[in-house]
Amino acid sequence: MTEHEDILGKIVSLAKRRGFIFQGSEIYGGLAGVYDYGPLGVELRHNIKQHFWDTFIAMRDDVYGMSAAILMPARVWEASGHTELFTDPLVECKICHERVRADQPEAIHDHESRHAKDKKQVSWSDPSVFNLLVGTKLGSSEKTATPVYLRGEITQGVHVNFKNVLDSMHPKLPFGIGQIGKAFRNEITPRDFLFRQREFEQMELQYYIRPDEEEGKRQFEYWKQFSLDWFLGLGFSKENIRLRAHEPDERAHYAKDAWDIEYKTPFAGWKEAWGIHHRGDWDLRRHSEFSGVDLSYTDNETGEKIIPWDIECSGGVDRAVLFVLLESYTEDELGGEKRVYLKLKPKLAPIKAAVFPLLKNKPGLVAKAESVYHDLKKQIPQVAFDDNGNIGKRYRRQDEIGTPFCVTIDFETLENDTATIRERDSGKQERIAVSELAGFIQKKIM
């Protein structure tokens, strides 16, 4: 394994050691493709979601937010085409009977390499199709229980509420509905940490437009660029992000056109982070047919009834978390010492600033540091206090979790009410008035 490829291993280890991400149900042996977010991970994920919510929903006049339920009846998924078409090709190893996705050369190669160690050559079954939807039943009696699915994409929760939003908010085309929430897929080969999971979170916008080819092309281009700009705003360098068009045979069953935003991972090259899909009238038309409820839009001025088309922006929250961690993981030397730090944008950092007393055994310094910490926390809740070990160790601990600023209370603070503030990436320190700390940090974390 090259040093480059091993970055994923280093991220997995840092994420566990420092309370970002843990294997799901780890003390019971873990559940494949399921992860739990710890105290720092949940803050990082929240910051990414907030950035999406602000940019795609709250700051726009033409987009509404919503939050639909995870459980939806089987009929929804028949209408959306997922019951029939949401499948992956699967092959079974004839030696150990493990099942692997037939269209993932890395998974096939990894499996064959495992048997090759015992000098065995794998032969595979013919490919069969495997549906990814995760189903369950609701109701107390086996006979009458209703089959439901945990949504395979959050999208359908928006489409089935199209009429509710029309009737309650009276929007005019074009307009969008965005949401963030969990989706579930029975992935055959969950792999690469947060990249391919069975339970994950999505952030999506369904943008409804007039059914017109030129308008479709214009809106599609607009949302491609908008998504790319948003993604770059997470702090990626331009050379690690690209837009790629799907080949016609790659597109999902609902897509007239589809592009991905991809991230150049150090472990497996370019990988999908985000999709922009031209879904046409597929969803609203099918739900109208299957539910019997008219989901058309009536133009107030012309009285014309139309089924709008949908341009979708769909991103994986967990993939964004993983790619942000990969992009920000940095090893360097500072003051002659090796260090590891997360070069997170301050806006995304789980902790914005840490406050230290220079010495732990000087009650005057500790009391002042505690008071500065409590005052700061009222204005910036994501602030930490640390008096463990020496100051160098405290800096390293905060660097490793991406804290952009460390504030040290020293003897001069007691004399003139100024403190040193140290910037994570450069290690540079400056002295500023304690009364200006909150304003200084606020400006940098916007």
Looking at the DSSP bridge assignments, the partners of residue 340 are 331
Residue 196 vs 286, nearer CB to ligand GAP: 196
- In whole angstroms, the minimum distance from the beta carbon of 227 to ligand GAP comes to 10
Spatial distance between the Cα atoms of 372 and 37, rounded to a whole number of angstroms: 29
- In whole angstroms, the minimum distance from the beta carbon of 152 to ligand GAP comes to 8
Residue 182 vs 431, nearer CB to ligand GAP: 182
Residue 274 vs 373, nearer CB to ligand GAP: 274
- In whole angstroms, the minimum distance from the beta carbon of 190 to ligand GAP comes to 7
Residue 188 vs 358, nearer CB to ligand GAP: 188
Residue closest to ligand GAP when measured from CB atoms: 316
- Judge whether 432 and 393 are in contact, CB under 8 Å: no
Neighbour count for residue 117 (Cβ, 10 Å): 7
Residue 308 vs 346, nearer CB to ligand GAP: 308
Residue 186 vs 330, nearer CB to ligand GAP: 186
Spatial distance between the Cα atoms of 94 and 335, rounded to a whole number of angstroms: 56
- In whole angstroms, the minimum distance from the beta carbon of 185 to ligand GAP comes to 5
- In whole angstroms, the minimum distance from the beta carbon of 206 to ligand GAP comes to 9
Dump strand ranges (E) for 246-376.
257-265, 269-280, 297-298, 305-306, 309-316, 329-334, 337-342, 353-357
Spatial distance between the Cα atoms of 391 and 396, rounded to a whole number of angstroms: 9
- Judge whether 381 and 335 are in contact, CB under 8 Å: no
Spatial distance between the Cα atoms of 132 and 150, rounded to a whole number of angstroms: 11
Interface ranges with ligand GAP (CB under 6 A): 153, 155, 185, 187, 196-197, 200, 202, 204, 272-275, 312, 314-316, 318-319
- In whole angstroms, the minimum distance from the beta carbon of 383 to ligand GAP comes to 31
- In whole angstroms, the minimum distance from the beta carbon of 202 to ligand GAP comes to 5
Spatial distance between the Cα atoms of 319 and 271, rounded to a whole number of angstroms: 10
209 to 218, 281, 301, 416: CA distances (angstroms)? 10, 10, 16, 61
Residue 180 vs 383, nearer CB to ligand GAP: 180
